Amino acid sequence: MPSFSLDLREPVALFVDGHATPAVAGRHFVNLHPATGLPVNEVALGEDDDVDRAVRAAKRAFKGPWGSWPLARRLLALEAVARGIEANAEAFIAAEVSDTGRPRHMAASFDVPRAVDNFRTFTRLAAHLPAESFLTDTPEGGAVSYSLRVPLGVIGLICPWNLPLALLTWKLAPALAAGNTVVVKPSEESPSSATLLGRIIQEAGIPDGVYNVVHGFGDTGASLVRHPEVAAISFTGESGTGQSIMAAAAPGLKKLSFELGGKNPALIFADADLEQAIATTARSVFLHAGQICLCNERIYVERPVFERVVEGIRAAARALKPGDPFRAETTLSPLISASHRDKVFSYFNRTRREGATVVTGGGIAELDEPWRGGFFVEPTVWTGVPAESRARTDEIFGPVCLIEPFDAEEQALAAANDSQYGLSATVWTSNAARANRLARQLDVGTVWINTWLIRDLRMPFGGTKRSGLGREGGVHSFEFFTELRSIISRF
């Protein structure tokens, strides 16, 4: 696999039927660097005609070469994609840093290796998928009944901006390993990796039309959802967008998988290893400026250690360094856009006005040129957030948390479950019985005990309530990306 050079000033094209291509109408939008606020390049704006072109190419590939490849050949090609991402790590790192402003070391240590793992894990799992078979008694003598996993056809993958390559490949690898073809709608904020991946996929020998990318805004995503030849949508993004997608998919009764927002709690008991609990909880609030769906925004602390935890998280917040993503010391990402910064900043102001105590932060981060124009805000910690405040209920998706004391386990559990969301929760305690009791009672998709963010790609992943619909990960991804057919054959 050759390594490609990536000129970030070049326009970002669509990728349709095996080729980087401009949009049919020739329109563009501008891609900004979140760490400077300056334009980086233009992105081809896909509209209905582009979506249609991409879906038809995907359908042809599904009915044609890709659909007829034996499993082993398909999986070998996907293994070559993993090697291609490794060989082009620097280009992907550059794309991720430019689109999201995240520190380079994060892209190098997480995003690119995770993309490779996604391809390797789902390729291996696809080779060992079980299906059932039964001997069925009949009056005439019998039959054998067995099930066959078949791909769905053309899948729409609609992705967010926070972890562009990692979350795209998390869906893409199992979708392709299962034999589907795809049309991807990356976030308008983070288009580059998806188009670059098209070159790797071509180089890996995967047939034209298996992987297609159409850039654009919500309208482009909606056009993909409505397209009659799209069999299913796997979506990661905001809960409200999930509602719109569900409504748009209803007439076609399309299969849906949703990974949505969160307002995740961490529960810290006095018997926890406090040094670890404080350091990891601070990381869980501020990593990527809180722009990871699994970040914690609500911290509940047993009263005897409340002051110590507040002080520890405050100190961690103040130690974070925004700025140049290519400096090793930089530890704070910018927010993704000016409008997202405005949203987060509006919570800073409103929550202060409501009477919360601002332990640290609450402002726009002051930086020198060229980072002054970046979308950085100060890491922020509140205590005493009033009961009716929206800072308790809404996903803010910024480097911010509220911290609150509790006196009893049941009180902490009730506070943690008092949310419209149910993505994840974290419990810090040295009492194993308590940890496992809470893990059963917390109404969320994932519970971490004395750790945070360890993810085994073979495990089910998803949320309850407004945090999601269905599960992806491991065999569960294949349950979504395939259909089971029952076959009954008489002796």
Residue 215 near ligand NAD by CB under 6 A: no
Site stretch for ligand NAD (CB under 6 A), options 37-45, 51-59, 160-168, 372-380: 160-168
Residue 169 near ligand NAD by CB under 6 A: no
Residue 48 near ligand NAD by CB under 6 A: no
Site stretch for ligand NAD (CB under 6 A), options 37-45, 88-96, 124-132, 256-264: 256-264
Residue 260 near ligand NAD by CB under 6 A: yes
* Shortest distance, position 171 Cβ to ligand NAD, whole Å: 10
According to DSSP, the β-strands at 28-32 and 380-383 are unpaired
Residue 102 near ligand NAD by CB under 6 A: no
Residue 289 near ligand NAD by CB under 6 A: no
User: Do 11 and 27 form a contact (C-beta atoms < 8 A)?
Assistant: no
Sheet holding 482-490, edge to edge: 133-136, 143-151, 482-490
Residue 252 near ligand NAD by CB under 6 A: no
- The nearer residue to ligand NAD, 66 or 461, going by C-beta atoms, is 461
C-alpha pair distances (Å), 331 with each of 83, 354, 387, 473: 29, 30, 32, 29
One DSSP character per residue, 237-277 reads S-HHHHHHHHHHHGGGT-EEEEE----EEEEE-TTS-HHHH
- The nearer residue to ligand NAD, 114 or 185, going by C-beta atoms, is 185
Whole-angstrom distance, CA of residue 245 vs CA of residue 132: 33
Q: Which amino acid is residue 150, in one-letter code?
A: V
Given the residues 189, 259, 302, 378, select the one marked as catalytic.
259
- Residue 179 has phi, psi (to 5 degrees) of 100, 5
Q: Between residue 110 and residue 129, which ones bind ligand NAD under the rule CB under 6 A?
A: none
* Shortest distance, position 341 Cβ to ligand NAD, whole Å: 13
Pick one of 147, 244, 431, 464: the residue that binds ligand NAD (CB under 6 A).
244
* Shortest distance, position 473 Cβ to ligand NAD, whole Å: 10
Under rule CB under 6 A, how many of the chain's residues touch ligand NAD? 30
Residue 41 near ligand NAD by CB under 6 A: no
Pick one of 42, 238, 354, 394: the residue that binds ligand NAD (CB under 6 A).
238
The candidate with the shortest Cα–Cα distance to 3, out of 195, 208, 196, 210, is: 196
Residue 330 near ligand NAD by CB under 6 A: no
Residue 401 near ligand NAD by CB under 6 A: no
Pick one of 197, 206, 423, 425: the residue that binds ligand NAD (CB under 6 A).
423
User: Do 383 and 359 form a contact (C-beta atoms < 8 A)?
Assistant: yes
C-alpha pair distances (Å), 259 with each of 178, 243, 488: 20, 12, 36
Pick one of 179, 207, 221, 334: the residue that binds ligand NAD (CB under 6 A).
221
User: Do 379 and 286 form a contact (C-beta atoms < 8 A)?
Assistant: yes
Whole-angstrom distance, CA of residue 93 vs CA of residue 109: 10
The candidate with the shortest Cα–Cα distance to 367, out of 410, 325, 406, 306, is: 325
Residue 261 near ligand NAD by CB under 6 A: yes
Q: Find all residues with CB under 8 Å of 73, minimum gap 6, and list them.
A: none
Give the CB-nearest residue to ligand NAD: 221
Read off the DSSP letter of residue 488. E
Whole-angstrom distance, CA of residue 309 vs CA of residue 275: 9
> What is the sign, positive or negative, of the torsion defined by CA atoms of 266, 437, 409, 411?
positive
Pick one of 174, 468, 470, 473: the residue that binds ligand NAD (CB under 6 A).
468
Residue 269 near ligand NAD by CB under 6 A: no
Residue 267 near ligand NAD by CB under 6 A: no
Pick one of 345, 348, 397, 481: the residue that binds ligand NAD (CB under 6 A).
397
One DSSP character per residue, 365-429 reads PP--TTGGGS--B--EEEES--TT-TTTTS---SSEEEEEEESSHHHHHHHHH-SSEESEEEEE-
> What is the sign, positive or negative, of the torsion defined by CA atoms of 101, 102, 107, 110?
negative
Residue 218 near ligand NAD by CB under 6 A: yes
Residue 195 near ligand NAD by CB under 6 A: no
Helix then strand then coil, in percent of the chain rounded to 5, is 40, 25, 35
Residue 470 near ligand NAD by CB under 6 A: no
Pick one of 93, 225, 287, 400: the residue that binds ligand NAD (CB under 6 A).
225
One DSSP character per residue, 335-372 reads PS-HHHHHHHHHHHHHHHHTT-EEEE--SBPP--TTGG
- The nearer residue to ligand NAD, 17 or 259, going by C-beta atoms, is 259
Beta bridge partners, 215, equal none
Residue 259 among the catalytic residues:
yes
Residue 395 near ligand NAD by CB under 6 A: yes
- The nearer residue to ligand NAD, 236 or 281, going by C-beta atoms, is 236
User: Do 185 and 214 form a contact (C-beta atoms < 8 A)?
Assistant: yes
Residue 160 near ligand NAD by CB under 6 A: yes
Pick one of 94, 115, 154, 159: the residue that binds ligand NAD (CB under 6 A).
159
| Residues of the shown chain interacting with ligand NAD in the complex, contacts defined by CB under 6 A | 158-162, 167, 185, 187-188, 217-218, 221-222, 225, 236-238, 241, 244-245, 259-262, 293, 395, 397, 423, 463, 468
Active site residues: 259
